[in-house]
Amino acid sequence: MAKKILLIEDDPFLSSLLKNRFIKEGYEIVLAQTGDAGIQAAKQGGVDLILLDLILPGKSGFEVMEELNMDPLVPKVPILIISNLGQDSDIEKGKELGAVGYLIKARTSIETLISKAKEFIGT
């Protein structure tokens, strides 16, 4: 059975690009384009990794993490942040909220992102 990744990203081009690449690598992808949709998808369970943008319509990625952390019924899943927010304070906040990694989109290739995701969920 394929490992499942929840991709919470509002950029349609990047979402499509990542979805297609992860499918090619043998993963199943669940897409959410808003923070609220991401929370709902995470609450349904069954995902092995969450790739989370921070700047989203509605709830921010930080708010998504806070809400998931507060809900004892949500399964604990590794969260890998993918964002253009690169300030040390943003990176620190992401790690404080439990992110297993923090990738800055502008400085990260698709190959690196896929490789990092594989570290947390395997192939």
Tens of pLDDT, residues 33-42: 999 999 999 9
List the domains of the chain with CATH numbers. 4-121 (3.40.50.2300)
Name the residue with tokens 């998504």: 64
Query: Against a cut of 0.75, is the pTM above it?
Result: yes
- Rounded to whole angstroms, the Cα distance separating 3 from 105 reads 23
Q: Quick: pLDDT tens for 7-45.
A: 999 999 999 999 999 999 999 999 999 999 999 999 998
pLDDT tens sequence across 34-79:
999 999 999 998 999 999 999 999 999 999 999 999 999 888 899 9
**Burial group, residue 68, by CB count within 10 angstroms (0-12, 13-18, 19+):** buried
Q: Where is 103: in which H helix or E strand? A: strand 101-104
Instruction: Tell me which DSSP letter residue 107 carries.
Output: G
